[in-house]
Structure 1
Amino acid sequence: MTAAHPSDGRLLVPLYVHPAVDPAAWRAVAAAGPARVAAVVLNIADGPGDAPDNVFAAAAEEVRAAGIPLLGYSDTDYGRRPHAAVVADLLTYRQWYAIEGVYFDQVATATGALPHYRRLATAARAAGCGTVVFGHGDHPDPGYAELGLADLLVTFEGDWEAYRSMTLPLWTARHANAHFCHLVYDVPAESAGEAAALITARRAGLGCAVPGTGDNPWATLPYELSALQPQS
């Protein structure tokens, strides 16, 4: 299986809304194609759920058919969740939804957890995941950027005001832009262009800026794709 190789300016889309609730959002992502969307994070229930969801499977297949890789979401609880439980998530995603990669979320940032995440990355690749993403949400110890560990580090996830004041660590300059992703929510419409420019200026090869707020801001499309969503 071929890994997704992100390039500057493309989107990583955490699409955390059921296709039955917002089918237009899923169609908009598929319509955007791989030139604009590097990958979509598939998250059924903070993981794959207890049983296959045929509606999710059909929507996932439409995205895959458009040439966009799918990443299965698994919460690692900052290293507290057992290795076997996390690996079971990605194996289930592979079986039910044929994911091409994995998005490990709530990844620890401290050096001491590196061996745990090295094992998870190794297990993911052994299971056929061509792309491994670490969702730190903050800048981790530089060791997490070591070659062969994760393909992508999400080094910011938070609201627009926090992103505007974020400081970029110097060590990130030693790595390619394509190794980093910034996810920003609660972005006002009038600030959408500024957010996109700031993501690029901060050397994040991938990003996503959405208007969403609350417990699940990722139920909304990124601004770059909203024009592709049919209006009701």
Structure 2
Amino acid sequence: MTGASHPDGRLLVPLYVHPAVDPAAWRAVAAADPHRIAAVVLNLADGPGATPDHVFADAAEELREAGLPLLGYADTDYGRRPHAAVVNDVLTYRQRHGITGVYLDQVATHPSALPHYRRLATAARAAGCSTVVFGHGDHPDPGYAEVGLADLLVTFEGDWTAYREMTLPLWTGRHAAARFCHLVYDVPTEEAREAAALIAARRAAVGCAVPGTGDNPWSTVPHGLTVAEPT
């Protein structure tokens, strides 16, 4: 569906702010047209957190009731984090929040790590995740795009200046645009449409452009979603 921020694609929303800190951001995402949202990434504490958080759980339930697919964030530390620890995060998200997919972040790009990530993807699907996203943040070895591994590859995560200078490797042209996602931060409001057009032109059918900067730019609402005041 056509959207204000991604005219030819859908939004993957990294919602990395607690609902008690910014309830308006969560309301904005919950109010979005579900056809525009590919998924929302839940991230309590660089993972599901050590203990249940009922405020977070209630807010996540509102997103699910709004028809939005939920992905649980799990850090893989570029292949250094043990398999069992990552899988435990997935299982915890499934138990607490009923996620239907997983966002594996800091995924390695080199081919030697492929067996490790193949095992993680297999384990995530066995745990009930119908969607597996690999958050490389850069273009990986083409082997990561093999069928049956990840459904979506985040092949760019960075600021607007770097995105404008990024070039696509030729191998990406052999795959459908639906396999790729670009996440861009520090995008000024007046340049949001330009960012959307560039994401589409680079054949990423899923993306997100936010105005945020600093250590956690994903604490801000994506361009194109309206933050409404509470009634």
**TM-score between both structures, scaled by the size of structure 2:** 0.95
Structure 2 partner of 1:200: 200
Q: Distance in 1 between matches of 2:185 and 2:59?
A: 24
Q: Which stretch shows the higher mean deviation, 103-112 or 56-65?
A: 56-65
Q: Distance in 2 between matches of 1:189 and 1:163?
A: 16
Q: Distance in 1 between matches of 2:171 and 2:21?
A: 42
RMSD between aligned residues = 1.4
Structure 2 partner of 1:222: 222
Q: Distance in 1 between matches of 2:76 and 2:51?
A: 20
The SS at the match of 2:113 is: helix
Cα deviation per residue 1:39-68 (whole Å; 9 max; x = unaligned)?
A: 000000000001111111111111111111
Structure 1 partner of 2:76: 76
Give yes or no for contact 1:8–1:177 (8 Å, CA) kept in 2: no
2:89 is the counterpart of 1:86? no
CA offset at residue 230 of structure 1?
A: 2.7
Give yes or no for contact 1:8–1:178 (8 Å, CA) kept in 2: no
Structure 2 partner of 1:4: none
Structure 2 partner of 1:34: 34
The SS at the match of 2:224 is: helix
Q: Distance in 2 between matches of 1:182 and 1:51?
A: 32
C-alpha spacing 1:45/1:164, structure 2 compared with 1 (3 Å) = same
Q: Which amino acid aligns with 1:229?
A: A
Structure 1 partner of 2:121: 121
C-alpha spacing 1:214/1:231, structure 2 compared with 1 (3 Å) = farther
Structure 1 partner of 2:56: 56
CA offset at residue 8 of structure 1?
A: 4.6
Q: Name the count of aligned residue pairs.
A: 225
Q: Distance in 2 between matches of 1:197 and 1:123?
A: 36
Structure 1 partner of 2:132: 132
Q: Which amino acid aligns with 1:121?
A: A
The SS at the match of 1:161 is: helix
Structure 2 partner of 1:3: none
Q: Distance in 1 between matches of 2:151 and 2:66?
A: 22
Structure 1: which 5+ residue stretches go unaligned? 1-6
**TM-score between both structures, scaled by the size of structure 1:** 0.95
